[in-house]
């Protein structure tokens, strides 16, 4: 299987008990340039069941396994700006270009290109 990523998630609805932990396995979609072929439905079921059996063999009984289409796109951007005080006149304009979640990431050989920026959602009303 030509996979691109793995994530551990738990998806639930407000007011309901949360479901099992889910092991998401990202599978590349068909890409003629890479020579890959799409994973068939039957092939995906087979892979998911084998992963589930492996987890159960190690005592993880409450983890579900799901496959999903997931392509990874690597990209970099110019070096991010340092955050400023909210009272600075340029604070609002600079905010999208500053590191917001965690530390800025860059490779030693490309210090001019940093990793990803993020965002903080602003909640104006709490219900």
Residue-wise pLDDT tens digits, 57-85:
999 998 999 998 877 666 666 677 777 77
pLDDT at 126: 46
Over the stretch 105-114, which tens digit does the pLDDT of each residue have? 666 777 776 6
Q: Is the pTM of this model over 0.75?
A: no
CA distance 105 to 95: 17
CA distances from 58 to 5, 30, 55, 97, 121 (A): 21, 32, 5, 44, 39
- List beta partners, residue 113: 78
The residues, ordered by sequence, that sit 6+ positions from 78 with a Cβ below 8 Å of its Cβ are 112, 113, 114
pLDDT higher than 60, residue 121: no
């Amino acid at each position: 299987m030509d996979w691109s990523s793995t994530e551990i998630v738990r998806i639930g609805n407000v007011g309901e008990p949360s479901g099992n932990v889910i092991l998401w396995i990202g599978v590349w979609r068909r890409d003629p340039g890479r020579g890959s072929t799409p994973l068939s439905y039957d092939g995906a079921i087979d892979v998911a069941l084998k992963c589930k059996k492996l987890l159960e063999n190690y005592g993880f009984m409450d983890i579900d396994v799901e496959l999903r289409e997931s392509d990874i796109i690597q990209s970099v951007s110019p070096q991010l700006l340092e955050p400023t005080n909210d009272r600075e006149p340029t604070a609002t304009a600079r905010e999208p270009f500053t590191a917001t979640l965690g530390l800025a990431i860059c490779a030693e050989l490309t210090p001019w290109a940093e990793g990803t920026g993020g965002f903080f959602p602003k909640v104006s009303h709490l219900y």
